[in-house]
Chains A and B, each alone.
Chain A
Amino acid sequence: AQTVTQSQPEMSVQEAETVTLSCTYDTSESDYYLFWYKQPPSRQMILVIRQEAYKQQNATENRFSVNFQKAAKSFSLKISDSQLGDAAMYFCAYRSQNNAGNMLTFGGGTRLMVKP
């Protein structure tokens, strides 16, 4: 079974600064997808970024980018120019490509605080 670990329960960043959230995972599969989801106080889970394991290029979405290290099984999220609206819980998630389903395995989450 796959496991996802987020070792930082809480992180803090100054507005306009850059912060990196860590995620490691354990799998014996070679094909899979990785995601970062954001959960603000409203509790609505919002997709931040997605990475296909077969792609060597790191995914980027505006101020959000990832550092995907497949051999190290590491998938960190970098948020540049942090904004107050970035304050939320961030979850790293894994999905296998080997079965037909959409089951996500989540990490424990990192609470990001943004200081004005």
Chain B
Amino acid sequence: KAGVTQTPRYLIKTRGQQVTLSCSPISGHRSVSWYQQTPGQGLQFLFEYFSETQRNKGNFPGRFSGRQFSNSRSEMNVSTLELGDSALYLCASGLAGNTDTQYFGPGTRLTVL
């Protein structure tokens, strides 16, 4: 079974631009979660989608948004990029319930100049 895939793997943007990252979960998984990893703040939960609905949301500004499609693929969008948005963005997928284990993708490295 193929693992979680994320595209693109690397991205360079400038301040003020917006960016869209994509995550394809493991086949059959309906939950997709997003995390931001930075040296200063560590790993922080952004949001989780399940069956096209946002199920949980972390403490991030409204510039960070996401969505999930009917095939469970998910996208996250960051508008008006700031230098502090430079990070590794990790996506994780799980089956459905909160008894399941989540599996992570390789991440997207975003650099904001």
**Residues of A bordering B, CB below 8 Å:** 33, 35, 37, 42-47, 50, 91, 95-97, 99-109
Contact = CB atoms under 8 A, between A and B. Distances in A.
Contacts of A33: 98-99
A44 B33 contact: no
Contact of A102 (B44, B98, B107): B98
B45 A105 contact: yes
Contacts of A47: 101-103
Interface of B: 31, 33, 35, 42-45, 48, 50, 55-56, 58, 88, 90, 92, 94, 97-107, 109
A43 B107 contact: yes
Contacts of A44: 104-107
A45 B48 contact: no
B42 A101 contact: no
